Structure 1
Amino acid sequence: MAKSESGAFTPRTGQVIQAENGTQYFVCGNNRIKISEHFAAGGKPLGDLIVDVVRHTAEKAAST
């Protein structure tokens, strides 16, 4: 999120671009992030992945 002149935070949108060599980048403002991994087409939905991370983190915290 970017801070506007009024001091409120506003979301920035980005775009995916592809270089001549086929490398993909996510570009948002002055930031460019190389995309090196992709979700499998038949993989779990993002919501399920987040639930798995939360459960794993909770179990790890409970065991220490």
Structure 2
Amino acid sequence: MTNHRTALILFAVALAMAVIAATITTLKNVNTRVAINETPPGAMGLATPHPPLDRAPGVPIEMAR
């Protein structure tokens, strides 16, 4: 019975160390920038539409020779 208890304690210690190491690694690499509600310079807020096609939909593209 003591073998099982020793194994369980060692597993719990190893698991705790892994969780602590993962937490420290995660917190170390977290990006701490703050979001703001201002738009960046040059941004208009809406996407611009695509220019119209020179052909109708379904018509194959003609290759220049």
Tell whether the structures are fold-level matches, with TM greater than 0.5. no
Give the structure with the higher percent strand: 1
Higher alpha-carbon Rg: 2
TM-score with structure 1 setting the length? 0.29
Higher relative contact order (CA 8 A, sep 6+): 1
Relative to its length, the structure with more helix (as a share) is: 2
TM-score of the aligned structures, taking structure 2 as reference length: 0.28
